[in-house]
Amino acid sequence: MPALASKRKAGAEGISSSGLGHLAGLTNNTDPKWWRDPCLRKLHFMLMCITIVQITGGYDGSLINNLQALTTWKSALNNPDANMIGVIGAVQTVGAFVACFPAPYIADNFGRKWAIVAGATLILVGGFLQGFAYSVAQYIVGRIVVGGGNVLAIVGATSLVNELSHPRTRSYLTGYYNVIWYIGSIIAAWLCYGLRIHLPTSQWGWRVPTLLMSFFAFLMICLFPFVPESPRFMIAKGRDAEAHALLAKWHANGVMDDELVAAELLEIKETFATENASKGQSKSWRQCFATPGDRWRMFICIGLATCNNWTGQSIVSYYNTQILTQAGITATLPQLGINGGLSIFDFFCAVFGGSSRVGSDVAPSSWRRSLA
């Protein structure tokens, strides 16, 4: 497509104020304001449904911290000491580490949607194991299973949000995607607070919040038939016509010869052609370290994830209740209230970070590196 080629030469990164980059200027059968366009409204609603995965992650990531304030939870698990609480909090990473190896295989060979379903199934099972646990061992097994499920679901959901989004709003959606995590955190904190007031001595005061995790997983599975598959995955499997129809439906209100849709298809195909030409058809973890450039990219990915967890956010997420206890705040309701208030504060900070002139609104017109 000549128009696309000329746009690519416009600049090193193809940056434009529209958010379309080198695709700017191509005709597209959608309203410039997405909320006025029927297909984009439906598309964004479906993408919001996919973010249940992030809500579940935030819910699970904050639940253990809030449960530590409940004496009923401690008594059900034989009053675990500080070391055992540390194990309960950390053991989830065992399942997450194991799942990170099959996750890309499932997403690439069976589809992003199936990765979400596989993860949701594990979360469903793990939530029940924890919710009906009568021993520390059973609870730990449930934590491991949920950890693996979260990774599978996040890999599928993150890819799907990026690959289904309209180019004009992709940066905004991905910028706010991680913000949704704190909604789950807020739900976990204030649900535990409310149940502590109404069920102060009942075992259901901690079992209900734990079982709610399985409900989120059930919603993910129920939404499976209504969410489209990734067009990139379809093209990878030789289903070009289906990918074309899908992009036309959700990015151009069904217009098959839309210029933007044609450019998107061309880009995806060219990307696969480049990947196949440089690395062949085989894929393995060894390729991540095959060249100096690959090794540098892996170093950035691993380093960023490591530094992100070294900021102290994991300590606050999992053990803030213990920190409050050592600070002299030992009453249950004040601990839960502080946890809930902190979750709300974190949510607004995250919204600010992803909002206009700070986060995703700036991303189309500035370097992501400077933003980080």
CATH code, domain with 349: 1.20.1250.20
Boundary-marking domain end, from 254, 277, 300:
277
Same domain (yes/no): 246, 267? yes
Same domain (yes/no): 177, 255? no
Contact 268, 236 (CB under 8 A): no
Q: Alpha helix locations (H) across the chain?
A: 2-8, 38-50, 52-67, 71-76, 82-90, 92-99, 102-109, 112-131, 136-164, 170-177, 181-198, 204-223, 231-236, 240-251, 259-279, 292-309, 313-326, 332-353, 368-371
So what's the pLDDT on residue 352? Answer: 82
So what's the pLDDT on residue 370? Answer: 54
More reliable by pLDDT, 358 or 55 = 55
So what's the pLDDT on residue 11? Answer: 33
More reliable by pLDDT, 314 or 301 = 301
Same domain (yes/no): 135, 160? yes
Same domain (yes/no): 248, 101? no
> Is 80 exceeded by the pLDDT of residue 230?
yes
Same domain (yes/no): 187, 263? no
Range of the domain at 67: 32-229+318-371
Q: Is there a domain that residue 121 lies in?
A: yes
Sign of CA dihedral 372, 299, 271, 165: negative
Mean pLDDT, residues 7-19: 40
Q: Is there a domain that residue 169 lies in?
A: yes
So what's the pLDDT on residue 368? Answer: 53
DSSP-derived letter for residue 230 is P
Domain tally, the chain: 2
Q: Is there a domain that residue 307 lies in?
A: no
Q: Is there a domain that residue 359 lies in?
A: yes
So what's the pLDDT on residue 305? Answer: 79
Same domain (yes/no): 191, 163? yes
Same domain (yes/no): 348, 267? no
Same domain (yes/no): 73, 154? yes
pLDDT in tens, 294-311: 889 999 988 887 887 776
Burial classification of residue 369, based on how many CB atoms lie within 10 Å of its CB (0-12 exposed, 13-18 middle, 19 or more buried): exposed
Same domain (yes/no): 36, 140? yes
To the nearest whole number, what is the mean pLDDT of the chain? 85
Q: Is there a domain that residue 153 lies in?
A: yes
Same domain (yes/no): 109, 258? no
pLDDT in tens, 152-189: 999 999 999 999 999 988 888 888 888 899 999 999 99
Same domain (yes/no): 139, 240? no
More reliable by pLDDT, 37 or 356 = 37
So what's the pLDDT on residue 236? Answer: 92
Q: Is there a domain that residue 13 lies in?
A: no
Q: Is there a domain that residue 295 lies in?
A: no
Q: Is there a domain that residue 344 lies in?
A: yes
Both tokens assigned to 259: 């210029």
Mean pLDDT, residues 9-35: 64
Write b or e for each residue in 220-253: b if 16 or more Cβ atoms lie within 10 A of its Cβ, otherwise e.
beebeeebbbbbbbbbbeeeeeebbbbbbbbbbb
Same domain (yes/no): 86, 119? yes
Widest pairwise Cα distance in the chain: 70
